[in-house]
A and B are shown apart, each in its own frame.
Chain A
């Protein structure tokens, strides 16, 4: 079920948080409201870690990760890296990468199986992504924009892309990602979906400006209505086994 919230009166939730199936990162805000909103949804299921990256609060845009690993930019300090390694579950590999394009959250959009990358990303980075996150990497653009991480929100069950994406592009991306995609908006018509919301397989968080229509679209494409955390985890396990066989 999608939740509407704000970080310090700002509706761009995806900037200040990162949500995956195995953990959740939130930025350190002035009040505890942001954190408690996440906690009320996710408390016993996955760890919620308060952190900063490189001293900034825009952690959602700087890092990219899924249940297998987390990639942080070279601006991350050693203490932050250590804190992350300590707080996150052991199976999550935290890796700092040296990459000119350091806003990894904007450049990489990923779920547990496949990732879309900025077209100008280094070859080594691409290899590291494939290695650490355990995904297949595709260099793509979305509606002509190279910042794939900003303009789409992806989970294992579906995805939303920039509203101006053409039908052919949508088909192509859908084929690549193997999930249903829809072109939509968030936060009352904002096209920057990656920054406006954050999603995993059973829950999503959007800015409070999101209209009811947008919320229903999110609910339907990410299949959040019938979702329960445990059933999702089981289903995931099943599908994983399926693919390896």
Chain B
């Protein structure tokens, strides 16, 4: 007996137990005892646990988009013999909660036989605790049926349910270029059915109202907008009171752009703490940043605040003129506003076209201007502005003669003329508005504006923050370094910020992972 006794960890003697064998009560074959005391075959012949379970079922498949119908209305996208398809197939079976599902797998069928076979292994309890496991095949008959959206698309490919009409009533398209890059980066217009470029704006068409809704939400986060929503009745089902509408969102982007000069109405000026009547807009995101160039004070207006007063800019970037800087005095004050450093100093400048007339003005660009530089600014003295407020101030002689906005890199750019840039950008698939004749967009003008936009990107790193720029494959670095022998070159985008384009053989393009900066 001692041979049979084991000592376990607690120090007690435990007799080793070997399971004996009994005979199956039905067929007499010796077997280890189980809860039913019948061998597996006898149990199986007695109890069929797959009784009452569905063995064949019909499912609907849309050949256009590759989706399977889950009644009543959902279409689930799944690949042939994928895990999603397997879970979908299992979900379609009724009564499967009566047994426990152990395993499910696909049995190979010819793809165009329109049959899917799944082998299910189920476990169920029979007869006082004995658990029986059985596997059985389920056959699914696949029937082709276009899903709703595909059938609607087939009937009329240009069908849209919601449209967003984005407008900005200014004479340039800079904001739209920037917005285009932002949209590409965040993939906000991926669900748009059509995108159309029109005068002073872009139209986006969506198949679903919620897509348009989320697009407008996205816009409200990146630019200050005001919008209204309207709907138009398309069809009306009297019996079930279902109304089919087309929704239109009219979105207006605030007309204040970067580098604009604004003469604030006195009410706004005093509400912002007597911010000097002339302010420069330095940044437009979901808020407008206004900088007073004489006091280096900043104010932020968000969309609702702006639209309450709705002032327009006095001078826009089209009216920038070149100035030559002759002398920059050491700065009298410095400030860092919104991440940007500014230094207030007096400079001696003269207009390029009128070199003789020297002016001494205050500028906030004291940190970057040096003697011999060129700068762009607004000639307030000579400007013809249709603004009552500004006229009043002018009368009282309280306006400066010129305000400098940014440094001009034209001389440096001369050297790089004709050479390709280190980066490229992607474009949204937009249709041009051909139909409007004379009021349509002029391609030459567009080119110039785009060139200016790219220059803007190069000069301002903060603009590049939310945008993806891609490496230009045609660009050779050797050209650039050879020519840069003296002084500083024009500002360029550092190479670490560029993304490599991922080229897949089947698809077009995707984002690469080359970016070390972000």
Contact = CB atoms under 8 A, between A and B. Distances in A.
Given A211-B25, A213-B26, A189 B19 contact: no
Nearest to B4: A168
Contacts of A191: 37
B22 interface: yes
Interface in B327-370: none
Contact of A166 (B20, B26, B38): B20
Interface string A154-186: 000000000111111110000000000011110
Contacts of A128: none
Q: Is the interface of B mostly helix, strand, loop or mixed?
A: loop
Contacts of B45: none
B15 A168 contact: yes
Contacts of A185: 22, 25, 37
Contacts of A228: none
A2 interface: no
A213 B20 contact: no
B36 interface: yes
Given A166-B19, A167-B18, A189 B4 contact: no
Contacts of A214: 23, 25
Contacts of A184: 22-23
A214 B25 CA distance: 5
A183 B19 CA distance: 11
Interface string A91-127: 0000000000000000000000000000000000000
A241 B28 CA distance: 38
Q: Which of B21, B27, B33 has the most CB of A within 10 A?
A: B33
Nearest to A217: B23
A169 B17 contact: yes
A56 interface: no
Interface in A64-80: none
A216 interface: yes
- Counting chain B residues whose Cβ lies within 8 A of the other chain, the interface size class is 20 to 34
Contact of A213 (B15, B23, B33, B127): B23
B24 interface: yes
A171 to B, nearest CB: 9
A129 B38 CA distance: 37
Nearest to A143: B33
Nearest to A184: B22
A225 interface: no
B16 to A, nearest CB: 7
B457 to A, nearest CB: 81
A188 interface: yes
A190 B28 CA distance: 15
B19 A167 contact: yes
B127 A165 contact: no
Q: Which of B18, B20, B21 has the most CB of A within 10 A?
A: B20
Given A189-B36, A191-B37, A211 B26 contact: yes
Contacts of B18: 166-168
Contacts of B27: 213
Contact of B33 (A163, A168, A190, A217): A163
Given A213-B25, A214-B25, A189 B20 contact: no
A214 B23 CA distance: 8
B28 A213 contact: yes
B443 to A, nearest CB: 90
Contact of B38 (A165, A170, A189, A216): A189
Interface string A210-227: 010110110000000000
B37 A167 contact: no
B20 A170 contact: yes
Nearest to B24: A213
Contacts of B127: 189
Interface in B194-245: none
Nearest to A209: B25
Interface in A7-57: none
Contacts of A188: 25-26
Given A211-B25, A213-B24, A213-B27, A189 B37 contact: yes
A163 B26 contact: no
B293 to A, nearest CB: 94
A137 B151 CA distance: 86
B210 to A, nearest CB: 61
Contacts of B22: 163, 182-185
A167 B19 CA distance: 6
Contacts of A182: 22
B24 A168 contact: no
Contacts of B15: 168
A33 to B, nearest CB: 25
Contacts of B33: 163-164, 183
Interface in B1-53: 4, 15-28, 33, 36-38
A183 B24 contact: no
Q: Which of B18, B22, B28, B36 has the most CB of A within 10 A?
A: B22
Contacts of A211: 25-26
Nearest to B38: A189
A214 B28 CA distance: 8
Nearest to A187: B25
B28 A216 contact: yes
A50 B272 CA distance: 111
B45 to A, nearest CB: 13
A189 to B, nearest CB: 4
B426 to A, nearest CB: 73
B17 A168 contact: yes
Contact of B17 (A166, A189, A190): A166
Nearest to A188: B25
Contacts of A183: 20-22, 33
Contacts of A168: 4, 15-18
Contacts of B20: 165-167, 170, 183
Which 5 A-B pairs rank lowest in CB-CB distance, beginning with the nearest?
Answer: A189-B37, A163-B33, A213-B28, A166-B17, A185-B37
Interface of B: 4, 15-28, 33, 36-38, 127
Given A166-B19, A170-B20, A188-B25, 7 more contacts: A165-B20, A167-B17, A167-B18, A184-B22, A185-B22, A188-B26, A189-B38
13 contacts: A163-B37, A164-B19, A166-B18, A166-B20, A167-B18, A167-B20, A168-B16, A183-B21, A183-B22, A213-B23, A213-B24, A214-B23, A214-B25
